[in-house]
Amino acid sequence: MKILVAVKRVIDHAVRVRVKPDGSGVETANVRMSMNPFDKHAVEAAVQLVEAGAATEIVVVSIGPKQSTDVILTAMAMGGHRGILIETEARVETLAVAKLLRAVVAEEAPDLVLLGKQAVDDDSNQVGQMLAGLLDWPQATFASEITVVDGGLEVTREVDYGRATVSVPLPAIVTADLRLNEPRNAALPMVMKARSKPLAVRPVAEFGVDVTPRLTIEKVSPPAERPGGKLVGSADELIAALKGELSELEAL
């Protein structure tokens, strides 16, 4: 089985996001970037399938500026075999991402496409579903467990009422949830070894996909500051404070 894993370079989840003074977006200059956390679980799932003997090759693909090679190298240090960077400085929206991935799938002919259920920068949760629609492939989203069975996969999904297990034939699209696994940390020797693995950098124009944004960002602003909490000296003071706030709410 050949696996294609899509990864995205985003602001590191531990960094406090700051809005640009002109409100045109969030500040990314001199900000620590890393692999989207959900995508890291997708990479780990692919590596575990290889280690179990269920897969033979992992191809890692990312879309973005030249600096996105760092997340591809991280994925290859975790166990990916080779990487593809679709290089562009433009802001690529979800439909364009799905179309670019469809073009890569047409070239690579993978049996399984793994990616995170969403990216933490825009939280759109759309690419996996759009890609499945474009390819007309079965899909299993929010995966918390993946089991290989004859001719396909059994995927346990996180749903509102708990968990649901679905069967999907291959080829298929699976998006990873955080409960799927515990991603490994790539040791320095593996990071150095990853630098010798094949990594193709290809311009976005080579794929014939129009990546012109369909949406216009009018303004980005930080959330309103929350008022500070109150300290009380006793249970009676707490009750009185809660009653006071309740009275204020009822008066609105």
How far apart are the C-alpha atoms of 89 and 11, rounded to whole Å? Answer: 16
Q: What is the pTM of this model?
A: 0.87
pLDDT at 231: 86
What pLDDT, in 10s, does the model give residues 160-190?
Answer: 888 899 999 999 999 999 999 999 998 888 9
What pLDDT, in 10s, does the model give residues 95-136?
Answer: 999 999 999 999 999 999 999 999 999 899 999 999 999 999
Phi, psi of 70 (to 5 degrees): -65, -35
How far apart are the C-alpha atoms of 108 and 175, rounded to whole Å? Answer: 19
pLDDT at 135: 98
Residue 247 pLDDT grade (very low, low, confident, very high; cuts 50, 70, 90): confident
Residue 156 pLDDT grade (very low, low, confident, very high; cuts 50, 70, 90): very high
CA separation (Å) from 52 to 1, 45, 47, 76, 131? 12, 11, 9, 18, 27
Q: Supply the mean pLDDT for the chain.
A: 93
Amino acid letter for position 109: A
Q: How many CA atoms lie less than 13 Å away from 87 in the CB half-sphere?
A: 9
Residue 226 pLDDT grade (very low, low, confident, very high; cuts 50, 70, 90): confident
pLDDT at 151: 82
Residue 60 pLDDT grade (very low, low, confident, very high; cuts 50, 70, 90): very high
Mind listing the domains of the chain with CATH numbers? 2-207 (3.40.50.620)
What pLDDT, in 10s, does the model give residues 43-53?
Answer: 999 999 999 99
Token pair of 203 as six digits: 């311009």
Q: How many CA atoms lie less than 13 Å away from 50 in the CB half-sphere?
A: 19
The CA-based angle 188-190-191, given to 5 degrees, is 60
pLDDT at 42: 98
